[in-house]
Amino acid sequence: MSFAPSSPPSVSQHQPARVPSTPSTARVMPTNVMNTPTTTTATSQGNGAATAAASTVAPSATSTANAPNTPGTEIRGRERQGSFGGSTRAKILKPFNTANIKILLLENVNETAVRALRDQGYQVETHAKALAEDVLMEKIKDVHCVGIRSKTKLTKKILDAAEKLGVIGCFCIGTNQVDLEHAASKGIAVFNSPFSNSRSVAELVIAEIVLLSRQLGDRNNEMHQGIWSKVSANCYEIRGKTLGIVGYGHIGSQLSVLAESMGMRVYFHDVAPLMPLGTSKQVGSLDELLQISDFVTLHVPETEDTKNMIGEYELSKMKQGSFLINASRGTVVQISALAKALRSGHIGGAAVDVFPKEPAANGKFFESELIGCPNTLLTPHIGGSTEEAQSMIGVEVSQALIKFINNGTSVGAVNFPEVDLRAIRDEENSIRLCYTHANVPGVLLRITNILSDHNVDKQFSDSKGKIAYLMADISDVTPEQIQDIYRRVSETPTNIVTRVLY
- Strands (E) in 314-401, as ranges, are 322-326, 347-352, 376-378
Query: Active site residue: 74, 133, 203, 358, which one?
Result: 358
By CB neighbour count within 10 A (0-12 exposed, 13-18 middle, 19+ buried), where does 433 fall? Answer: buried
Query: Active site residue: 89, 182, 346, 381, which one?
Result: 381
Q: What are the Cα distances from residue 49, in Å, to 27, 431, 483?
A: 12, 13, 17
CB contact at 8 A, 81 and 47: yes
Q: Which helix (H) or strand (E) holds 472?
A: strand 467-475
Q: Specify whether 118 is catalytic.
A: no
d(CA 93, CA 26): 5
- Within 8 A by CB and 6+ apart from 168, the residues are 145, 146, 147, 148, 154, 178, 183, 188, 189, 190, 191
d(CA 230, CA 404): 58
Strand order in the sheet with 347-352: 281-282, 265-269, 242-246, 295-298, 322-326, 347-352, 376-378
CB contact at 8 A, 262 and 239: yes
CB contact at 8 A, 177 and 152: yes
Q: Specify whether 182 is catalytic.
A: no
Q: Specify whether 329 is catalytic.
A: yes
Query: Active site residue: 149, 299, 329, 487, which one?
Result: 329
Q: Which helix (H) or strand (E) holds 353?
A: none
Each residue of 134-161: b (16+ CB within 10 Å) or e?
A: eebbebbeebbbbbbbbbbbbeeebbeb
CB contact at 8 A, 161 and 2: no
Residues annotated as part of the active site: 329, 358, 381
